[in-house]
Structure formats: C-alpha cells, structure tokens
Structure 1
Amino acid sequence: MKQSLLIVLSLGFLVTIAKTERPQNEINAGAGLVDITPTGEVTLAGSPSPKKTSEVKTRLYVRALVLSANDTKVAIVTLDTLKYPVELTVKARASIEQATGIPAANVIICSSHTHSGPLWPYYPDKLVTPITEAVSKAAQDLTPCTLGMARGRAEGVAECRRVIKDGHAWNRWQLKPDESDKYPAEAPADPDFDLLAVRSADGKYKAILYNFACHAANNRAPLISADYPGDVELHVQKALGYPVPTLFLTGACGDVNPIYSVRRDLFQERLGGEILHCLERLEPMAKPTLAIDAREFQMPGREHPEFKEAEVARNWPGQLEHYRKAYTSMKEREKPSYLYSLTGIRIGSDFAIVTNADELFCSIAMDIKKKSPFKHTMTVEQTNGAHGYVPSAKAFEGGSYETWFGEHSYLTTKAADIIEKQSLEVLGKLRTQETKP
C-alpha cells in the first residue's frame, strides 16, 4: 500500500495523519458459493422426453463475484440450471439490493444452460434465496485483489449443430450417424474465449470467469450434472491444488453443441487445459475501474406466427404433436412485446461484458465481438431472463425447430439485429465513458 501524509490544523496544533491509498492496480473483490445440488429424484430439464434421476455426477452451485471500485459495485452471478425467467430475475435482483445495497441494475444472473438439472420450481423459493445468499457472501468477502486478462482457444470440442441438406436446415442428431458430417454446417462455431482472473494478496485465485460458446449438453447419461462447466472447474481446481469458483458465463450457443463423436472428457483437457494456459500468460489489468450500462426495453414478438406443420413433419415427425402443443400454448400467451434486459459492464480499459436474455446464435455474437471497441469482450447469453432462441436471418431461411414459433422461439425475426445494435451501443457508451478525462 502507498501512503501519503495529510496535515490538518486542529485546536491550534498541526496534526499529521497517515492516509492509505489503494494501489492503482487493485480492486476490491469477493466470491460467494451456495450448493444447490438436489437431494432426491428430479426431472432433468432440456428435452422433449425428460428423464428422472437422483444420481449426482457433479454438484450444482450458485456462484457469485462482487467487484467494487470508484463507488461502483457489480455482482456477477452464475447458476447451474437450464434457464431462469425474467420475473424471477427481477425478484432475485431486488432481494440482492435489499440484502447488500448493490443496485439491482448492477446485477447480472447467468444460467449455465445445463440440461442435467432441475428447473427453478424444484427449489422452495425458486432459487431467489440461494442467489441472494451467494451474493451476500461475496459482498462480505471483499478484499483488495488484482485482475488479469487473457484470450484462449479450445478447438475440436464444439460445432455448429445445424447442417444444410437439400436446402433445409437439420440438426445433426436428426441424421444418420454416417450423414452428420456429410453436409455443410450452416454457420461457424467460435473456439475463442475470453477469461478474467481475480487474484488475492496471497497469490491465490479468488475467482476465474470465462465465456465459451457451446451448449452445456455434453453429459450423455441421465445424471445430475453441471455438465462440461462442472468438469472444467474440477480440472482447473485439481491443477491449482485448491478450490476456486470458476464462473462459466454462457457464450452464444443457440446453434452450437458439443461434438458428440469425441470422448466426453475432452472438454476437461481442451477447455480446462487452455484455461490453465491462460493463467500462465495473464495480462495484468493496470487500472481496474468499473462502469455499467443497464437498459430495459420492449422486444417485439414474432410477426405473423404460424404452425410449420410441413417442416415439423419432415424434420421431426415423432414430435409433431409436441410442437403442435407448444405452438398452441405459446399462441395463448403471446404478447405484442416482452420486457427485455441488456447489460454492459466495463472492467478496466480493455475488458467488457455484454449480456442478452436468449439462446443467441453464435454468428451474431461473433459479429458483436468483432465490432466491439474492447480488446476483450464477453458476449453472455441466458442472462437476466430467458426469452428463447434468437436465430440469425440465415437460420430463419433454413428453418428447423429453433425458428418455429412456440415456447422456445417467439421473439421478432429482427431480434438478432436489435440485440447486435443495442449491444454495440452499450459497448460504445462504456468506451466513451472510459476515455473521458
């Protein structure tokens, strides 16, 4: 710590007081962890034909990181669950503000999208209390820390799950095994990811954040699991030799899945191994200031929704009645527009996070990152709400279930353009704020 002398006049005497100044490379940071692993049999979410189990592969958690600098506090929360809806996000953020004083607008809550855990109704208060507890623990854990940034690359574990066959989009699992690699992918997958490491004064990591674009659907057995993010965390902790919360911020993976033809533990080696390499080549953050731009607006609903019976019958004949019911149910609940949250967080001068509340197609986020004014940009989906798939314009042309109107796809076909525009506006505003004298 640096110290300066402050001289004041008190009752006719000169008094010299030692004033402690925070080094410019430090930020106050705290981490919190709450176990939400089910204790009995649950229905695993994320499939038209869900399975039940009580067997645990990896434990489920709420993880929280609180950062505090220049009179600004932000809370970054990750949930090991499939999704978390807008109305519950509003309750949880309000509860956090009441418990910690951190403004609700300064809280982001990101679901990992694991397909191997229960949905929120399983929990007594729908996860509001454990989310609040995790952030409260993090807020009470605030200590001076340093930050480091890096970009990693994990190849050979994820791929665009949609291929074009006879002019139509098909998911790879709908084709015969010998056909799945026969047709061209509709769009790219993104092997690159950004990482932020938080280090305590004792040299140990207090928390690690990373952002990777791939569905958390690598668990191939009916087990309770945090999926590959849980495997990766255990791999990193084992190598470091001590437990450290590894917060997985879900990348834009609406059309990206694990490569199922490779062995399951490859994620640990490729993604977990690359995270460890990132820790070896961290770029120190010289001035970890904080800024946030949170906005809410109304996102239009789908234009002229219709039931794509011919498409469903062709692509997924066994699920025709499932998708008919999904269409009818959503049609009954349809709204002209939906409350939508989008948040940008700037940490230092070269690192930013921008969120959306969807299963965003990967190419959209890749465009945002390419146009971002920051060296490191995390595009984080499934955050502060769950509004279903947002396909690209090209994907709407190809069709298939991510584009069919229903519970999982009901926003305007222009949602991708709106999210990209709003995201870049937020990032631009955060950059302008950072460069002001």
Structure 2
Amino acid sequence: MTTSFRIRLSLVAALFGSLNLVFCHAGNAESPAKQFRAGAYAIDITPAEFPVSSAGSMTHRMADAAHDPLHARALVLSDGQSTIALVTCDSCMIPRSIFDAAKQQASKQTGIPTDHILCSATHTHTAVTATPTFQSIVQDDYLEFLTGRIAEGIVQAHSQMEPARVGWAIGNNPRQVFNRRWFLRPGNPLADPFDRGTDKVRMNPSANSKSLLQPAGPIDPQVPVLAVQSTDGRPIAVWANYSLHYVGGVPAKSLSADYFGEFARQFSQLIDAAETKPAFVAAMTNGTSGDINNINFFEGGERQQPFEQIRLVAADVAASALVAYQRIEYQDWVPLKMQETEIELGVRRPDAEEVARAEELIAEAGPGPWRDRRLIYANETLDLAKYPATVKVKLQAIRIGGLGIVSTPCETFVETGLAIKKQSPLKPTFTIELANGYNGYLPTPQQHAWGGYETWRAKSSYLAVDAEPKVRETLLKLLDQVSK
C-alpha cells in the first residue's frame, strides 16, 4: 500500500468519523424535544377577610367563614415543543377579564403563550362572588387577589416541572347525575317570570311526584381521568371530569369548594398521595352540566346533614375515578397541541315593550332586593337592555396524545357534550365548561323551544338561540385541527 493511498484512506476515515459525530450530535440535540414534562400546584384562593359576598343565589348573601379552603389548581404540561397549562378554580363563575389578566401575568413569568392556557371555574355555588348574576354583589376587593393567585399557581406549577409520564382512562358513574329538566303530566301548570305561559318543561320539580312524566334530556355518566406521574412512578396530578352542576347542602353563611374540593381530598387519600413532595394535585373539572344536578327526581331521597351529601357524592365519584386510574397505561411521551379561537354570538336583548313592562313592575314594587321572581327577572330585563347586540366568546381545543379536551365559557347542556364526544376525531374527548369567561347557559335550540329556567333571559342566560350550534361546530373544527 503506497504512502499516498494510506493518506487518502486516513482522510476518508476522518471524514466519515466527522459525519458520524455530526449525526450523533444532531440526534442528541433532538432528544430533549422528545421529553415529556409536567408540574402541578394547588394554590389557596380563600379570602383572607370576612364577611364576603357569596355567589350562586338569586338574592344577595354574605358568608362569615369558609368551611373548607378554596383552591386554584394548576397543571402545566410540555412535550418539549409545546407547553400548555390547565387551571380549575373553586368559584361559581369567573369573568373573562380576570382570566385574561391572570394569563397575561403568568405568560410573562413562564413564557407559556396565553392561548395555551385554559382557566375554568368548578361552579361551586358557595364561593366568593366574582361575576354579577341576579342580585349577587361582586366582591370587588377580592378580584385582584384572585387574579394574582391564579397566575401564581401557574407559575408555581411551571417551576416544578420534571420529566413525567402521562396517561388517561374513562370511568363511569351514573348514580350521581340526573337531568333536572322535566316534562310534567297534562294539567300541571308551568309558570314563568314573564307571564308568557309557553314553557313545556320545569327545572327541579318535586322529586317522586305524580306530576312527573319524563326527563327532558339525557345524562353523561363518564368520569374521564387524565393522570401524570414522575418517571419513577410518583403521582404528580390527576385531572378528572364529571358532568354534575354541583351538590350543595352548605349553610347559607359558609363558603365551600363543594364536592369538587372534597373529591380532590378523597382521591389523594385513595392513592396514598396526600403527603407526596412536591404535593400531589387532584382536580375535578365540570363537564357539560347546565341541565344536570344531584337530585334523584325518580325516587327522591333523604335530606342529609350539611356537607354530608357532598362527602357521599365525592366518595362515590372518587371511587369511580380510581377504577379508571388503575387502568391507565402511561406513556413516556405524547404530542401536545392546542388551538384557540374567538367567535361572535348574538344576545337576546329585550324589546321596548318588555322593557316598559319591567320598568312598571319595578316602579310599583319599589327598590330591591326582591324575592318575587317576576321582579327579579324584571330587573334582569333592565340590565340586559344595556347589553351589546353581540358578544365574543373564547373557545379552545387541546390534544394530549390521543386524548381531546375542549372548553366552553358557558353552563353547557349535556346534549352538547355528548354530541362532541361522539363526533370528535380524538377518542376519548371531554369538555370543560365555564372556561375562560362566563357567558351564561347554552341550551340547544330544542331546549330553548321547551323553555324553563335555563332559557329565561337574564345575565345567566342571554345568548341567542342559535349560539349552541355555532359553539359546537367551532369546537369540532378545532378538534379536527389539533388531531392532525
């Protein structure tokens, strides 16, 4: 072998070695992008001072103490390319302005884009009033505190991110959900606060009454469970979902996270994660429960002591979530995608005749507060007359591997959730309601035609009759986008 040939051979070997080194470095550069990471944090949002205004009633009420703490629970996930945050707050409903401000604060500190943050309220009817509905008075001095705490919870969850594994499964519990809108037998009058006499269904009729004919809609018994754990198996967080309005049974002057908070405590105990470091976070999000509650209208039931029904429901649903949790097969990495859009929806504003009737009723009755429904809704009519002709609502869709999540800023009817689950390209899919703002009830056009409380025009129900089909169609489009 000549000297020149040996030199050429050495050069070729060196060249291949260099190329191999480059490829190895390229592979190593890509590997961090395939690492799934997660962090979770539950931050206390209980007010520091009492009394405070408590939401969830047609009349103003004040709470003197909190029976149990209120939290904003945050979960941050990253696939190495995209980072998203999920937050659920123990509140009846939270306006978009607060969520938007909290997202801005959190984004500045974490770098998570605001359109990659989903914030929702659980819909406990015994939290601090953050949104004006009926005669509840907003606790203005709580709003800045709430905004800051939501943002801080996201920041803390982000700071605790670590290599993680993720998985999901679907549980089932039909025992605690009942459609609360009923058709009654002929001959049973249906009154409405506008004296129209056109309602076909009644919300919350007397349980086990001879007047009952059949429910006006279905239920959704699913208990979806999303779980993340560290690479060594330590539980980090569980995000569950159930289409149940709330439970109640809380004394009038108490704040409580309702069954949402109790579920978190009980589930943590069921998996022996109450003392983990960093702290394990369990959360129950509200599905599509605008027409669902916990009253067994078919058979009735015994009245429980305060907080006891909350404990019973939470225990039962936590047990169902545990069955699903134990079936989860974790994955070391899955892709994350999130899409957000804004659509414009019409507002059902009163006409001149309806405003005149409302003004006459209020003038005759004198200044409030009022307990008569006709007067309460007359006042709502005057408030709605000041609303714009349209409002913009924010909608989101998330893909976590093969799992889909969508959000609505409404008290969404169960039919909508079931339709989305059926038509979604991602299986399974679930819906988180009261997210990124509050825009009242979202009945389907058919439910609007049947009338009843959830359709009565008020600050709690003002979107146009065609709003639900537009929301549903948009969410399915978003799911299609993130699924590809």
Q: TM-score, normalised by structure 1?
A: 0.88
After the TM superposition, which of the residue ranges 132-141 and 262-271 deviates more from structure 2? Answer: 262-271
- Give 1:124-163 correspondences, 5 Å limit: 125=144, 127-163=146-182
CA distance 1:240–1:25, change in 2 (3 Å): farther
For the residues of structure 1 that align with 2:80 and 2:422, how far apart are their CA atoms?
Answer: 29
2:378 maps to: 324
Task: Write the distance in 1 (CA, Å) between the matches of 2:211 and 2:317.
Answer: 23
Aligned residue for 1:125, secondary structure, equals helix
* Structure 2 match to 1:3: none
1:346 corresponds in structure 2 to: 399
Matched, 1:227 2:280: no
Q: Is the 8 A contact 1:219 1:225 kept in 2?
A: no
Taking a change above 3 Å as real, the CA distance of residues 75 and 273 of structure 1, as seen in their structure-2 partners, is: same
What's the Cα RMSD here?
2.9
Give 1:24 shift.
9.6
Q: For 2:236 and 2:71, locate their aligned partners in 1 and report how far apart those are by CA, in whole Å.
A: 16
How many angstroms apart in 2 are the aligned matches of 1:36 and 1:27? 29
Q: Is there any run of 5+ residues in structure 1 with no aligned partner, and where?
A: 1-6
Q: Is 2:201 the partner of 1:169?
A: yes
**Separation in 2 of the partners of 1:33 and 1:21?**
33
Letter in 2 for 1:60: L
Map of 1:246 onto structure 2: 282
Deviations 1:300-320 (Å, cap 9, x if unpaired)? 22276685989x9xxx99311
**Given the alignment of the two structures, is residue 392 of structure 1 paired with residue 444 of structure 2, yes or no?**
yes
Structure 1 residue 135: Cα displacement: 0.5
Shift of 1:429: 1.2
The answer on 1:403 being equivalent to 2:434 is no
Give the drift of 1:401: 2.2
Tell which deviates more after alignment, 97-106 or 266-275: 266-275
Conserved 8 A contact 2:349-2:385: no
Q: Deviations over 1:322-362 (max 9, x none)?
A: 11101111112x212112100111011x1011111101111
- Contact in 1 for aligned 2:350/2:381 (Cα 8 Å): no
Tell me which amino acid in the other structure corresponds to 2:417: A
Q: Which residue of 2 aligns with 1:268?
A: 314
Aligned residue number for residue 376 of structure 1: 428
Q: What is the percentage of aligned positions where both structures have the same residue?
A: 27
Q: 1:357·1:382 contact (CA, 8 Å) conserved in 2? A: yes
Q: Residue 288 of structure 1 aligns with which residue? A: 334
Q: After superposing the two structures, state which structure 1 stretch, 254-263 or 338-347, moved more.
A: 254-263
For residues 175 and 124 of structure 2, the distance between their equivalents in structure 1, rounded to whole angstroms, comes to: 20
Conserved? CA contact 2:224–2:321, under 8 Å: no
Which structure has the bigger radius of gyration? 2
CA distance in 1, matches of 2:471, 2:459: 20
Inter-partner Cα distance in structure 2 for 1:214 and 1:373:
25
**Aligned equivalents of 2:474 and 2:158: distance in 1?**
30
Give the unaligned 5+ runs of structure 2: 1-15, 131-139, 187-198, 275-279, 362-369
* C-alpha spacing 1:97/1:8, structure 2 compared with 1 (3 Å): farther
1:184 alignment partner, SS class? strand
Q: Is the 8 A contact 1:25 1:285 kept in 2?
A: no
Q: Partner of 2:255: helix, strand, or coil?
A: coil
CA displacement at 1:241 relative to structure 2: 2.2
Q: Distance in 1 between matches of 2:118 and 2:265?
A: 24
Aligned length: 416
**Map 1:413-424 → 2, pairs under 5 A:** 413-424=465-476
Question: In the aligned structure 2, how far is the partner of 1:240 from the partner of 1:20?
Answer: 37
